[in-house]
Structures are given as C-alpha cells and as structure tokens.
Amino acid sequence: MAKTEHAQSHDTTLTDVLEGYAEAGYTSSFAAQDGGAGRCDSCGSELEPSRLHMRSLRRLEGASDPDDMLAVVALECGLCGASGTMVLGYGPASSDSDGDVLRALQDRRDDGDLPAHAPPSETPNETPNE
C-alpha cells in the first residue's frame, strides 16, 4: 500500500462518518485484534487482514488535539460478506493492534465504486501517514 497524504476531516465528527457509511450499507462493525487480525461482528470470525477488504478510508483528527487521530475504514468480510466499519487509531498514540491491522489491510478501493460517504478526494491506494 502506498502511503500518501489523505484529506483530513477537521469539521466532521466520528458519528457523522459512521452514519454516512451506515447509510451507504456499511452497517456491521469490525474490531482490531492482537497480531493484526480483525473480528467481524456479523459472523464472529477472527480474520487475517487478507480476508478484510477495504472499500474506503476516512481520516479524522481532533480539532482541539491533533493527536486524536482516527481512521474509519469501510470493510467487507471475506467470509460472510458483511459490510461494516472499523475505527482504528493511527500515529504515535495508536495501539499496536490498531497499527498492525491498518498496515495489513488489503486495499480494495480500486475494485469498484467507493461508498457514498467516501471523502471526495479519496482515490485508491491512499493510507494515512503513521
């Protein structure tokens, strides 16, 4: 995955982004697990990152604290097909599991259309700088 600068969202809240993805059909949720794996809440499976397909990524920074850095990733489960979101911290204050998952996700944004709530500047192969 190439690491290039991605448009930041200073005036958009995490709730706004999650609601936008939900409106676009990303209604399930995923969670980072130790060792770079992700858990799909729809089927309960713990998945290697190659089984999680990134469809969109939205980067958020706290308006009052730039260290509040989050990546909201729209994903599809490679086992059950559920579409949902995973919220990951990135940067120096992120957890090891969040960083491991973010680095290991399979970027599939060039496989089709981006979700409705993808940022206007999003293009395939952009990942937030760590």
Predicted local confidence at residue 122, as pLDDT: 56
Which residues, in sequence order, are CB contacts of 119 under 8 Å at separation 6+?
A: 6, 7, 9, 58
Predicted local confidence at residue 105, as pLDDT: 85
Predicted local confidence at residue 41, as pLDDT: 97
Has this prediction a pTM greater than 0.85?
A: no
Between the alpha carbon of residue 56 and those of residues 45, 65, 102, the distances in Å are 21, 24, 12
Predicted local confidence at residue 13, as pLDDT: 87
Calculate the CA dihedral of residues 100, 44, 84, 8 and round it to 10 degrees.
Answer: -20
The pLDDT profile of the chain, 130 residues, written as one tens digit per residue, is 333 233 444 568 899 999 999 999 999 999 999 888 999 999 999 999 889 989 899 988 866 566 678 999 999 999 999 999 999 998 888 899 998 898 888 777 766 565 655 654 555 444 444 3
Residue spans per domain, the chain: 13-109
Predicted local confidence at residue 6, as pLDDT: 38
* Closest residue by Cα to residue 29 from 49, 43, 50: 43
